[in-house]
Amino acid sequence: MWVYEKKLQYPVRVSKCDPTMAKFLIEQYGGADGELAAALRYMNQRYTVPNKIIGLLNDISTEELAHLEMIATMVYKLTKDCSPEQLKVAGLGDHYANHDKALFYQNASGVPWTAAYIAAKGDPIADLYEDIAAEEKARATYQWLIDLTDDVDLQDSLKYLREREIVHSLRFREAVEILKAEREAQKIF
């Protein structure tokens, strides 16, 4: 089903060690509006939508996994040369105590990821509106992350991710219109 290329979807570069920024980025790794939640939400929803949009949900879900890989790479690069003391000062001391520098699905505040983040109503239009909201929240978070760093290399990758959220939102909006037109065209006798 998938073909894995051993490269990131978009290059990730960082110009300096910055564990504080890594802490903020973890929001997009395991937060409610992060990449893991999005990938799993869309993959799950594809089983209850009309055939016309299964491919859309599968494609975007897969891309969200690629974005998760990019976020993981950013966090790794931002923390790989950090000492335990630097991690502690950045607010990652408890994370280090539990996981060393390994990634763990949690938000920036350290709250573990939960399946409660995944919305699935079973109504394709309701689910797509939820997906649009999720993409817009992720877009906003990426903008705030861009605002939190002066690393132009990191900003470049974050801007790419922000723009992909906009594209996903637009694609979900198109899918809503397709389903609404189909619903309105149905005749019940």
Q: What is the DSSP letter of 188?
A: -
What is the Cα gyration radius of the chain? 18
DSSP letters spanning 14-68: -SS--HHHHHHHHHHHHSTTSHHHHHHHHHHHGGGS-HHHHHHHHHHHHHHHHHH
The residue count for the chain: 189
**Residues classed as catalytic:** 35, 64, 67, 135, 165, 168
